[in-house]
Copies of this chain bind each other. A is one copy, B any other.
Amino acid sequence: MNLSRYLRDKRKAVDNSLKDYISLKKKQKDIPKQLLESMAYSLMAGGKRIRPVLCIASYEAAGGKSTSILPIAASLELIHTYSLIHDDLPSMDNDDFRRNRPTNHKVFGEATAILAGDALLTDAFNFISEKKADPAKLIRVIQELSHASGPCGMVGGQAVDIILEGTKAKKKDIIYIHTHKTGSLIRGSVRIGAIMADAPAVKLRSLTEYGEKTGLAFQITDDILDIIGTKEEMGKSTGADSAKGKNTYPSAFGLENSMKIAELLIDEALDCLRVFDKKADPLREIARYILLRRN
């Protein structure tokens, strides 16, 4: 299979679904113009859409065939975008650049940025609830998504990341941060795809494990790229983790060791897919890509 083409095609499909969402919002006269601009500014900033793509790839690996997965997959990007807007705030990571552009609060001010994040988070659940599909399945998706992105998942990871900033965290805390701040939503994305495809329990378990391992590997390579990547490749300032006293895998385990851990995780993730046929090839290629990516 051709991974670049796969990623490009799926990203385009997700982008179209997100454009539909913004168009729909524009038609709703009750939404303040400036708020919608702030939401669209970050949502349409051209991310990799890795979470929606993983959701689609997992759906396909589990035998799902229709494009009806799209709004569900796109809602993952609403959650991811809200988390970036809030994480970039001055009282959080205080970042000025994201995806080669000024961060949301630099353009729209802090208050509107906070509210745009709140709006995207709330709309992720609205977007799913408006979908025509078996309600029992939609409720399971909402359970997954709210758990993965809530205080026992993504928000929990971000909280510990910030609380321990500038201190030397224990290794178990660094593992907590990484598996929650980033890992949790990636794991959730994979699980949601599998649930929408009615994957049997044993396949759901394998895909969950795949999601956990690639999710952790993704954050470790993110830490590594913050050290060895360039600002142009990353679309944001690099070296920021170390300057802020962030607890990262390289800071705790060393750069080379972190690379080895990421490689091992990807090997294990691939192993989780051994019972799947070639419909899981995109998941396999994405796992390999995580190791090789430059942004």
The residues of B that contact A112 with a CB separation of less than 8 Å are: 159, 162-163
Judging by beta carbons under 8 Å apart, are A115 and B158 in contact? Answer: yes
Count the copies.
2
Residue on B nearest A138 in the bound complex, by CB: B139
Complex contact A31–B156 (CB within 8 A): yes
**Chain A at the B interface: SS class:** helix
Query: Cα distance A114–B94 when bound, in Å?
Result: 14
Q: Which residues in B have their C-beta under 8 angstroms from that of A147?
A: 126
Chain B residue contacts of A117, Cβ below 8 A:
118
- What does the 1/0 interface line of A75-116 toward B look like (CB < 8 Å)? 000000010001001011000000000000000011110110
Which of B91, B135, B153 meets A139, CB within 8 Å?
A: B135
Task: Flag if A118 contacts B119 (CB, 8 Å).
Answer: no
Apart from A86-B118, A89-B114, 14 more pairs, CB < 8 Å: A30-B152, A30-B180, A32-B156, A35-B155, A89-B111, A91-B109, A111-B159, A111-B162, A115-B162, A122-B146, A122-B150, A123-B151, A125-B146, A126-B142
Chain A residues in contact with chain B, CB under 8 A? 25, 28, 30-32, 34-36, 39, 82, 86, 89, 91-92, 109-112, 114-115, 117-119, 121-123, 125-126, 128-130, 135-136, 138-140, 142-143, 145-147, 149-153, 155-156, 158-160, 162-163, 180
